[in-house]
Amino acid sequence: MQNKSMRENAFYNTIKQICTGLFPIITIPYTTRILGAENYGRVNFCISIISYFVLFAGLGIATYATRQSAILKNNKKDLDKFTSQLFTTHIIMSIIALLLLFFLLLICKGLYQYRILLMVQSFMIVFNIFNIEWIYSAFEDYKYTTICTIIVQIISLIFLFTFVREPSDYIIYSIIYVISYSGMYLLSFFNVKKYTRVKITKHPNAIKHILPMLILFSNELMVTIYVNSDITLLGILSNDENVGIYSVAVKAYTVFKRMFGAVIVVMLPRLSYYYIYDKKGKYNELLRKAFNCIILLIFPVSIGMLFISDELMLLLGGKAYLVGSNSLRVLSIALIFSTIANFYATSVMLPSKQEKKLLLITVVSAVVNIGLNLIFIPKLGFLATALTTMIAEIIVAILSSLYSKKIFVPKIKLNFLIDILIGIVAIIIICLFIEQFEFNYILKLILKVFLSVLMYATVLLIRKNEIAINILKKKK
């Protein structure tokens, strides 16, 4: 197996996810002010609908292919055959998804006013056919996809600031969104020949792949439901303005979530390999190191996010969106549980092929999330959507850890937890101290982030935290 540096992989994929996350962070302050909460809400409501069709067309292919191609990567003939079969299957499913979308537009009168937006965004389904990032993941080549992502985001930014100038330009904004979403897929597709040959085949062998893909698809569907149903139901039970306000809070939350997800997802190909060929050795060692790193970072990030919620909402949307700060605070707590749940699902349950158990977990969380949304959205508005997201993430984290305990049980030393606790207390004190001054919100944001990071790192070094010391040694 080709052993590239895990740190290098994590670095490039983190950069990629940060760039993907920074794109909305950079564009949101502009688009929310230009388009207004109502038009911005319309766009995000339609994106939440299209996401289900993109997911249906994908049929769980990406996750299944990432795991399987990591095993087949040393056999080019088998890999070429496998890749072509999944590519052909994806084309077939995308055609079906487009037909279902057009049928929905014909029968659902409530969506008629959104028809142009939905037609524009339907190209996300088409371009997603070329999403074969899983090949790069299998060969642990995150550098190329990161470069492509940066190029596409820069081009999209230029288009945005050039062509989106007034509220009526929300259709143009949707086109640019599709470009930012799909451009990297096209660039990476035409370079994939260095690893495998992708072509349409007359024999996709769907029966062989369909069962494991359906299980993964069902799991991804349930995840999408409890992630996107908030915005979908908020749009149905409330109004476009509330969707716009909540969408800003979700975008900020998603940036931090992606940063941790980027580190976790790069481990899937190697963990799948280790689980088969070296189950009790490198597999458990990698899990232990990864879990400790995640715990060391997720708590200060979550607490820090809680204390900069007002500044983030002002930065991203302005005063009109400040009412969404409490939703962002709730989501900052949800971040802890979503990251832990993601770790167990991606790093333990998927490599050990526990897709059925993972599906059960996500079904339970999705049902709870939808049920609570239907009850509380009419009463609490977008605050309810944040609370139900947090509850869903807690359920997934608890259940996934229970199902994973036969394979992996984290062992965290008391001193390690004390390091984190002292660091968190230091962050809280700094943020509360800065709140006492009448600074501009941008200055407050900068001071809180910079001083919190500095203080937390200092606490870890003073306490001689093992991970912090090792990082410092490697930097030197």
In tens, the pLDDT along 45-68 reads 888 889 889 888 887 777 777 777
pLDDT in tens, 375-392: 888 888 878 888 988 998
Average pLDDT (278-297) is 78
Question: Please, what is the Cα angle at 231 between 230 and 237, to 5 degrees?
Answer: 85
As a whole number, the mean pLDDT across the chain is 82
b/e map of 96-119 (b: 16 or more CB within 10 Å)?
ebbeebeeebeeeeebeebeebbe
**pLDDT bucket at 3, cuts 50 / 70 / 90:** very low
d(CA 271, CA 287): 8
Q: pLDDT tens-digit profile of 101-157? A: 999 988 888 888 888 999 999 999 999 888 887 788 777 777 788 888 888 888 988
Chain centroid to CA 429: 30
d(CA 452, CA 427): 5
pLDDT digit string, tens, across residues 443-476: 999 999 999 999 999 998 898 888 777 766 665 5
Cα–Cα distance between 21 and 436 in angstroms, integer? 31
- The pLDDT-based confidence of 1 (bands split at 50, 70, 90) is very low
Tell the residue number behind the tokens 């990082």, with chain if given: 471
Q: Decide: helix, strand or coil at residue 330.
A: helix
Segment of 224-233, 293-302, 360-369, 422-431 carrying the highest mean pLDDT? 422-431
Give me the residue label for tokens 């994908």. 58
Between vectors from CA 22 to CA 385 and to CA 35, what angle results, nearest 5°?
65
Residue 96 has pLDDT above 90, yes or no: yes
What is the reported pLDDT for 226? Answer: 62
Which amino acid does the sequence have at 274?
Answer: Y
